[in-house]
Amino acid sequence: MDEVLLSVRGLRTEFVTRDGVFAAVRDVSFELRRGEKLGIVGESGSGKSALALSIVGLIEPPGRVVAGEVELNGRRISGLPDRQLQLVRGKEVGLIFQDPMAALDPVKSIGDQIVEGIRRHRRHLGRREARRLAIELLREVQVPFAERRLADYPHQYSGGMRQRVMIAIALANEPDLIIADEPTTALDVTTQAQVLDLLDRLVSERRTAIILITHNLGIVAEFCDSVHVMYAGRFVERTTVEQLFRAQAHPYTEALLRSVPRPDRLQRGPLPSIPGFPPSLAHLPPGCSFAPRCPAAQEICRDRAPATVELVSESTPVLAECHFARERLRT
Amino acid sequence: MSRDQASLLQVEALEKRFVIRRGPWSRPLVIRAVDGVSFQVARGETFGLVGESGCGKSTLARCLLRLIEPTAGRVIFDGVDLGRLRPPEMRALRRRMQIVFQDPFASLDPRMSIAQIVEEPLFVHGIGSREERQAQVDATLELVGIEATYRDRRPHELSGGQRQRIAIARALVLRPELVVLDEPISALDVSIQAQVLNLLRDLQEQLGLTYVFIVHDLAIAEYFCDRLAVLYLGAVMELAGREELFRRPLHPYTNALLSGVPIPEPGRRRRQGRIILEGEVPVLTDHRGCRFRSRCPVGKDRERCAEVEPRLEERGPGHRVACHFPGELVTARP
Amino acid sequence: MIRTVGGRLLGSLAAIFGASVVSFLFLRILPGNPARLILGPLASQQAIQQQVRLMGLDRPIYVQYLRYISSFFSGDWGFSYSNGRPVREVIATRLPASIELGLYAFAFAFVAAVVLALLSTYRHRPVVDGTVRAISFFGLGTPPFWFGLLLLLAFSQALHLLPGPEGRLGPAVAPPPTVTGLYTVDAVIAGQWGTLGNALQHLVLPAVTLGLAPFAYLVRLLRVNLLEVSREQFITVVRSKGVGRWTAYVRHALPNAFLPTLTAGGMVLAQLLAGSVLVETVFNWPGVGALVVDSILRQDYAVVQTFILLSAFAYVALNLIVDVLYGVIDPRVRTPTGAR
Ligand SMILES: Nc1ncnc2c1ncn2[C@@H]1O[C@H](COP(=O)(O)OP(=O)(O)OP(=O)(O)O)[C@@H](O)[C@H]1O
Ligand SMILES: Nc1ncnc2c1ncn2[C@@H]1O[C@H](COP(=O)(O)OP(=O)(O)O)[C@@H](O)[C@H]1O
Ligand code: SF4
Ligand code: SF4
Ligand SMILES: [Mg+2]
Ligand SMILES: [Mg+2]
């Protein structure tokens, strides 16, 4: 098994607003190995983006990482002064964001924006050399006529091409870890297939580890090795992709899986749906945060928050936060 | 197919062009957002329109309801050609056809209360007394599962799923026969999507509604629609019943779309069999031959595809395809 | 691109034409016969008749307009009877003073606005932001007349740091040989460093006084734009490359925040160049602002007329410059959108 690349322990991020304190990430811990493809699934507002930004120290006020440790390549990076974190960002960790339309500076050329990332970490490179690298990167992410399109501006690129530019920027310094926050949500199916294909190639060629944040379970099934399900700022279930789709230790995971129409299963009855709405992160219910919507909730769920239960199912480890996880997996 | 009584909506060679002027001295650019679309929708059925962003789905929907004027072609609703109606007649007919928009955040007036929003169509059409209207509003809110306590709240106090319920209530309060749903669940969370889909299905059964359902998620299209048309650059590429389209897709584009959908089941990794199209949807202006050719793995180098625009032809029972070489590209389908 | 340039040029021509019509009609609409204004209330009916013919006032109105325009462009701007000199000469002595003061006031307003806007929005520091907002509030609400006096009292009377209201130069300093009419520039050209220093010293207080309100306005505008842009996703993306916070701010947020400020900046500059009576009065500054007000009071409309038309030219020219700058900063103006 590959060595541990990233280890996150007890990470907690809060946003202080007029309507209260939103605990977007609540004591999250996990590990990631080299070459691993980890999927993080959850609904919007469950804290996925906040987690991604917290890992690399990019949470801006009114947000704040209030607790937790992040280790990358065996070195602690949480709590480092920004100057030192800058050397990590873009070099050891590359980020890809959700909305390719908003992710590029509209008044700087594509070339300049790629070169900026290259030269930030390889200062000895001349302008010309960096531009050559930028062209190579654009070729690698399959932007047609890379040379000619280097001087273009973002508005001259389509959504899919911009997302490829984003990937090129994230790849610029051959990072060990790529965090992709919903990289295909804004794209069409055909473009989505292209982008996932590209990311997949990276992992097999460079042993890059990828954290893929998404709300599409289909993408998780096809792309990822392991998956963490996020609900109201916490990982409620952590396991491998195979295990997750085989049996769900947490009721939320189960409900989520069942509420997605399956293209290969033509059933016409009502879709099993989850009643109610996700809770506000500023006003979480006491006890289990899923209790108000959980079909299996008992008295204890409303009083006591469930602790993480470590289980093994068909020799696969499962971590779940449900009082009844053990019973659920056994049956 | 005969034009039987059962067909509520007929669309014939519908066309909408936008002319974009870039400057006084450059040639105006003609965008064919809808380019000769024909189909029929039977009473009580759900007709799906699928396709990638920018292929003309929303424009088509707006032409159906004459929210924008089509450039050519006919829309016949219950035997009446909408193009021949005078404004007052059209207004009267609008009661029977309604639309729900994609974005539940943008389509509701933030200053109005929920009850006002739902009442507005009744008011505009001058229906009923105040009390009757209120009763109708209450009944409709109950129908879409919004509690009466929400009547006086404003849209921003509601979640996305609740807002979309309000938008649906607003469309249904006039008890229309046809509802056009333009991506009604795309902006919603996964767990909420199922709620809204179920609601739509229930309402259809209770009220005998006919739906035109616009969607880009093929899994949802397959779950929800009885018949579907696949659009590419403003034209129908393939039109068939659900079973037929998903079991036996004949057009290369449909095949590529289907193979692009990730299936939520590991072990079914179909990456080997996946068709990855090159490039992206181009902007269609004037063209020759098949509009899909620039990305088509089948017809890319074929002369016929470059020269002759394929027509939508019957290739199976109720299964029409616009391709010279249908069925050549096949995706393995479980 | 063609459309923007062509359209702008047409718009500019229209603006100038409009201004010329207004300034032409100015004389016709105002009470009193222009001829009598020139000759004075005691002139005989006959003399006035003669003057009317001399001025072409008996010709059809469009002929008068054409004559007015053609003489304006041939450099004949009429005669200022209150000064007893041609308008052109009068303006030529006063305008450079206003332009010099306006430019320095603008430089102050602009640089101070950029610096303070950056400081107030960079990282969320409520104290700095609050201070900047208070300054801008003060700047917008303070009468320049009062503020100028206050500065004079503080820096000239009390601290003796800067000269009092002596105009453009101290009494013992001779103006540099005229090239541009801007003393600081002419002094540099002539290599008279002492004069340069003296001119600069005399510019500080009036420039700050004149620039205060525009500065407050610009800082407010820029602050809001910066706040908006700094929340955009691309700033986070820039930071994710390892770029420092300040660099991301100056290199990416600032140019984007500038765009909506540019037009306002052009208008502010145009306004500053036109001079201000109050500030000129306080500092004894021999600018056009005071000249125009004097001329209005003395009903010397030839000066006012010329001033209106010249202002129109200045506005139009600045607008064109702003448009060109947009093209330089914003590629979306320069190049058409490619794909969808
Ligand atoms: N008012 C307009 N002026 C010019 N072009 C337009 C206008 N409205 C739409 N278009 C163009 O028509 C085409 C179809 O647009 P439409 O909004 O119908 O797409 P869509 O299929 O609904 O896409 P999406 O899935 O993104 O909602 C696009 O190329 C679009 O740019
Ligand atoms: N800038 C912010 N100000 C206040 N609250 C925020 C901000 N960013 C995120 N949050 C809060 O953090 C929670 C998680 O947000 P986010 O991580 O963006 O969710 P996701 O990526 O899963 O959709 C949200 O519920 C939101 O209330
Ligand atoms: S702890 Fe209780 S409420 Fe929470 S998920 Fe488990 S069963 Fe449901
Ligand atoms: S007609 Fe030719 S180019 Fe068009 S879809 Fe069929 S095979 Fe492809
Ligand atoms: Mg997010
Ligand atoms: Mg649309």
Closest CB to C6: pick one of B24, B280, B283. Answer: B24
Instruction: Please indicate, yes or no, if residue C192 is contained in any of the structural domains.
Output: yes
C-alpha torsion angle, residues B98, B100, B106, B109 (rounded to 10) = 40
- Residue that has been written with the tokens 């982008």 in this structure: A195
Percent with pLDDT over 70 in chain B: 92
CATH of the domain at C101: 1.10.3720.10
User: C316: exposed, middle or buried (C-beta count within 10 Å: 0-12, 13-18, 19+)?
Assistant: buried
User: B112: exposed, middle or buried (C-beta count within 10 Å: 0-12, 13-18, 19+)?
Assistant: middle
Amino acid at C55: M
pLDDT over threshold 50, residue B334: no
Which residues lie across from B181 on neighbouring strands? B100, B213
- Cβ neighbour number for residue A132 with a 10 Å cutoff: 14
Backbone angles phi, psi at B230, to 5 degrees: -100, 120
pLDDT digits (tens, 9 = 90+) for B100-139: 988 777 788 888 999 999 999 999 888 889 999 999 999 9
Using 50, 70 and 90 to split pLDDT, how confident is the model at C318?
confident
pLDDT over threshold 90, residue A276: no
Distance A248 CA to ligand 2 centre (A): 27
In the predicted model, what is the mean pLDDT of chain A? 89
| pLDDT for the residue numbered A181 | 92
| pLDDT for the residue numbered B264 | 77
Instruction: Please indicate, yes or no, if residue C76 is contained in any of the structural domains.
Output: no
- State the residue range of the domain holding C95: 90-288+324-339
pLDDT digits (tens, 9 = 90+) for B259-298: 888 877 776 555 556 777 877 777 666 678 899 998 899 9
Cα distance between residue A67 and residue A48, in whole Å: 17
Q: In this structure, is the dihedral angle defined by the CA atoms of residues C153, C154, C160 and C165, taken in order, positive or negative?
A: negative
Q: Tell me the residues of chain B between 16 and 75 that have a Cβ less than 8 Å away from chain C.
A: 22-26, 54
State if residue B324 touches ligand 4 by the CB under 6 angstroms criterion: yes
Instruction: Determine which of B83-97, B194-208, C1-15 has the lowest per-residue pLDDT on average.
Output: C1-15
Q: Do B25 and C2 touch (CB under 8 A)?
A: yes
Mutation probe of ligand 3 site: the residue of A324, A329, A331 with most atoms within 8 A of C-beta = A324
Cis ω for the linkage preceding A62 (within 30 of 0): yes
Q: Which atom number of ligand 1 is nearest to the Cα of residue B60?
A: 18
Q: Cα angle vertex C19, ends C18, C25, to 5°?
A: 90
pLDDT digits (tens, 9 = 90+) for A131-190: 999 999 998 888 888 888 898 898 888 788 888 899 999 999 999 999 999 888 877 888
Cα distance between residue A275 and residue A292, in whole Å: 9
pLDDT over threshold 50, residue A30: yes
Domain boundaries, chain B: 7-232
Instruction: Please indicate, yes or no, if residue C332 is contained in any of the structural domains.
Output: yes
pLDDT digits (tens, 9 = 90+) for C86-120: 888 888 888 999 999 999 999 999 999 999 999 99
Instruction: Identify which of A68, A97, A58, A50 has the alpha carbon closest to the alpha carbon of residue A6.
Output: A68
Instruction: Please indicate, yes or no, if residue C63 is contained in any of the structural domains.
Output: no
pLDDT digits (tens, 9 = 90+) for B145-186: 888 888 888 888 887 788 888 999 999 999 999 999 998 888
Number of domains in chain C: 1
Q: What is the mean pLDDT of residues C278-297?
A: 87
Q: Which helix (H) or strand (E) holds A137?
A: helix A127-140
CA distance C185 to chain A (A): 35
Q: Are B14 and B37 in contact (CB under 8 A)?
A: yes
Closest CB to A91: pick one of C239, C242, C259. Answer: C242
Q: In this structure, is the dihedral angle defined by the CA atoms of residues C129, C134, C140 and C144, taken in order, positive or negative?
A: negative
Cα distance between residue B162 and residue B155, in whole Å: 9
What three-state secondary structure class fits A328? helix
Instruction: Please indicate, yes or no, if residue C12 is contained in any of the structural domains.
Output: no
pLDDT over threshold 90, residue A228: yes
The class of domain B7-232 in CATH terms is alpha beta
Structure tokens given for C50: 């003669």
Cα distance between residue B279 and residue B287, in whole Å: 17
Q: Do C124 and A61 touch (CB under 8 A)?
A: yes
Instruction: Please indicate, yes or no, if residue C267 is contained in any of the structural domains.
Output: yes
pLDDT digits (tens, 9 = 90+) for C21-49: 887 877 666 666 667 766 777 778 888 88
Radius of gyration, CA atoms only, chain C: 24
Distance B166 CA to ligand 5 centre (A): 25
Cα distance between residue A93 and residue A81, in whole Å: 17
Q: Which helix (H) or strand (E) holds A67?
A: strand A63-72
| pLDDT for the residue numbered C195 | 92
State if residue B230 touches ligand 4 by the CB under 6 angstroms criterion: no
| pLDDT for the residue numbered B3 | 46
State if residue A24 touches ligand 2 by the CB under 6 angstroms criterion: yes
Cα distance between residue B223 and residue B244, in whole Å: 13
Instruction: Please indicate, yes or no, if residue C72 is contained in any of the structural domains.
Output: no
Residue B277 forms contact with A (CB below 8 Å):
yes
